[in-house]
Chains A and B, each alone.
Chain A
């Protein structure tokens, strides 16, 4: 075998320390024929040309490049090898610049070290296999799970590029949480109005035909991997046709039954056929089959009788199973609020007029249960309101993290209470105040300047207790014996993962962090990618965040998909992956769970583990774990690594 060793001087960077002549004379004599050449700057155009020429003219079969870090120029020289007509993986790069010349002071020692590294590379490169990249066809369509701000932002961006998007939303309404909020921090914009352009474009915009919206639906199965997922969705019946229905609402009044409206936090009633709230989109009501008389078998069709559009109400609508192929999946299922009954002394669920932040948002909303009037359970306007921050947040007993949004909406509440109830006292009980950002101090300043606002710091939520005396709520702090009276108490609970998060994670094989949020690939560099290639995270399912960050993550997910998954372009699979020798695999299944990318699975029919080349990143974890030695790491085989070690030591 003819091995070409190319020693880059890198100007004086390498040649000042390492004596290339000594390295050359110290080369081992082995079975291979060695050719040693020095090049001044191998990465220069001249350098690359002379490398290519030498390989071609001298019939070089394997290449050792002694130069800089492979991080710098491995790809550069691999391309030269390809141009010279040999497989680019038949090269081994030796980093004699960063790892020798720049760090070893003594010239003789540096020369010896370089010689040993080059010898190791020679021993290794003799064993290299020619490896080929593979290409597979991809589906450029995208599944977005969750129709909140993050999901809709992603969906719209993808649709605008001409791609097909399937949106799966578990509720009958799109827009997520902010469409239920009258005004949003920090600039007191109306929630539904701010989101309307996005919602409108999703439903009727220029690219709406690229979007398939499935409401009251959930993903029940996902198979395949990046580029080629097959997704099964179960859609429950809405009993109305969102395309035929004109949203006039004529059907609602005649309906004879009603129940608590969960979209108003159970603070009001809702008919069996209804909109979740006024202005909810898509603009078509839905029937709650749990209470509808017709669905219970009674002979009632009052809603259908009142409907001016033929076939807009469909009593025999049924559950559908929908299967779609997509190349990428965006998880944007949002978050939930911490269960305030877990801190029982705060009285939530027991004492009237103790509300969560979301409930208060609905109370403030003009389409909410009180049409925007702040009222106590007695129907009176409260003269004082206590807002308890950090309910479960920043608390080792509950949730250790800061939820990041509560201070902001608490000060928003301050502003709105001040407007709606002039002169009302507002007491902020807080553990910490967190209000970073260039826009976000206004509401805080406003609250500070409000003469009716007081700020009371507490150390531990467990010392706070809410009790009721003659209609008044009394908030006591047992730590200092203080107490404050209020007519209404608003709790700002920690932001927590939704109950669906766990189940969906299992379906997607996407991991969760210790709090139950979807786990990102990297907290700083890649918070929008999950650990599963092709599954992206957007919004508060990944971490508590405000709408700005949510929207950014939605766009980031779209960016990953648009750049990585291009229609008409094949997906390139790098050959440095793990390969299972199927006839030697014993089926012990040690390897399956060790893979951080979920690339290894056990195939019951084959009786062997299999590695999905699309997902495999070539990390070698399964190779080390396989107790039979039946998994080979391409380009890092045991023999290659052992030869390299022996080369250094000999």
Chain B
């Protein structure tokens, strides 16, 4: 009997939701187990790093890597798993685009450590210690991974074969990818082109959203705590910043279905370079500030400001999931 191909899953800077999403394929996990030797997953299995280090290069067929690259440990594991895996898949938004951990790129390492270890009201830190890779203690040298200056995506660190979007990826999409892989293994069908996004659509969330859509003009924005949005009409048309227009489809438009706006976790649609910039370009095109003819420039500026000031937290809204992977990558000054 030939050995089953090896499957591994690793978490770097992430929340664990991706692992939950994987087991949410429910009983189909047994099919995964039947087809693969699921041999590494720190969240679920007790395999050690040294076990992985001991493997021959390329011994693992597929690694599902979730989490962004925040620390030297994250980077070390990314490089190690890259070496040991035939196919390295950035699994979920953190690995693919940086996601919530990536919002830390709006600030810097010094301020993050200051907020967490010095200014945090629940911390008693009289000597003002902040974590360092190496700290001399009476008991000996304490070594922890280095906390990097910024968050990177997996592909900004190592070569990545495929991407699976979502925060987290939806179980039905995970299963669709597993099925595709099984089919390739059984029939020898060609692999998708390198760099492809798997487990997502080619359009935007609106494609799957059943709300009624009209030609768009928006005179102002509202947040969902301010009113109960109509369940039939497009949320964006009701003035709610719904990122669905600039977000890859594949999730089944889950959030709009429960009357909440899409926040963009499936990342930019196919071929779109920068999700936040695209959203801003689209909103800029449909914001209606009325007739401008004959108006002075500063009056026009004021009108524009009045509308866009109703959108809170621009970076956190437009780049919630995609900041490290965007053109700007984070704060530049």
Contacts and interface: CB of A to CB of B under 8 A. Distances in A.
A79 interface: no
Interface stretch (B59-67, B182-190, B271-279): B271-279
Given A514-B291, A592-B216, A630 B278 contact: no
A572 B236 CA distance: 39
B37 interface: no
A627 B204 contact: yes
A223 interface: no
B203 A627 contact: no
A628 B281 contact: no
Interface in B250-286: 269-273, 278-279, 281-282, 284-286
A627 B202 contact: no
Given A624-B281, A627-B245, A588 B294 contact: no
Most A C-beta atoms less than 10 A away, residue of B217, B244, B272, B284: B272
A321 interface: no
Contacts of A592: 215-216
Contact of B215 (A583, A593, A621): A593
Contact of B203 (A586, A594, A625): A586
Most A C-beta atoms less than 10 A away, residue of B203, B205, B291: B203
B90 interface: no
Contacts of A594: 285-286
Contact of A584 (B203, B236, B246): B203
Contact of A590 (B205, B282, B293): B282
A628 B209 CA distance: 14
A377 interface: no
A85 interface: no
A315 interface: no
Nearest to A515: B293
A427 B215 CA distance: 54
B320 to A, nearest CB: 15
Interface string A616-631: 0000010011111110
A139 B249 CA distance: 43
B333 to A, nearest CB: 20
A590 B216 contact: yes
Contacts of B272: 627-629
Interface in A585-601: 585-594
A36 interface: no
Nearest to A401: B294
Contacts of B216: 588-590, 592-593
B207 A586 contact: yes
A593 B286 contact: yes
Interface in B41-63: none
Interface in B217-235: 217, 234
A441 interface: no
Contacts of A583: 202-203
A585 B213 CA distance: 13
Nearest to A513: B293
Nearest to B204: A586
A76 interface: no
B27 interface: no
B217 A593 contact: yes
Given A592-B215, A592-B216, A627-B246, A585 B285 contact: no
A638 interface: yes
Contacts of A514: 291, 293-294
B81 interface: no
B206 interface: yes
A629 B269 CA distance: 7
A458 interface: no
A41 interface: no
A400 B279 CA distance: 38
B214 interface: yes
A589 B203 contact: no
B245 A588 contact: yes
Contacts of B206: 586-588
Nearest to B285: A625
B203 A590 contact: no
Given A583-B202, A628-B272, A590 B286 contact: yes
Contact of A628 (B204, B234, B285): B204
Contact of B213 (A587, A593, A629): A587
A277 interface: no
Interface string A149-173: 0000000000000000000000000
Interface in B163-214: 202-207, 213-214
Interface in B63-108: none
A627 B293 contact: no
Contacts of A513: 293
A602 interface: yes
A636 to B, nearest CB: 15
Contacts of A588: 204, 206, 213, 216, 234, 236, 244-245
Given A590-B216, A593-B217, A621-B285, A627 B291 contact: no
Contacts of B204: 586, 588, 627-628
Nearest to A600: B215
A473 B244 CA distance: 67
B160 to A, nearest CB: 21
A215 B214 CA distance: 37
Contacts of A590: 216, 245, 282, 285-286
Contacts of A629: 269-272, 278
Contacts of B293: 513-514
A625 B218 CA distance: 14
A538 B291 CA distance: 23
Interface string A443-465: 00000000000000000000000
Interface string B276-318: 0011011011100001011000000000000000000000000
13 contacts: A400-B294, A513-B293, A583-B203, A584-B270, A586-B245, A587-B213, A590-B245, A592-B216, A627-B204, A627-B245, A628-B245, A629-B271, A629-B278
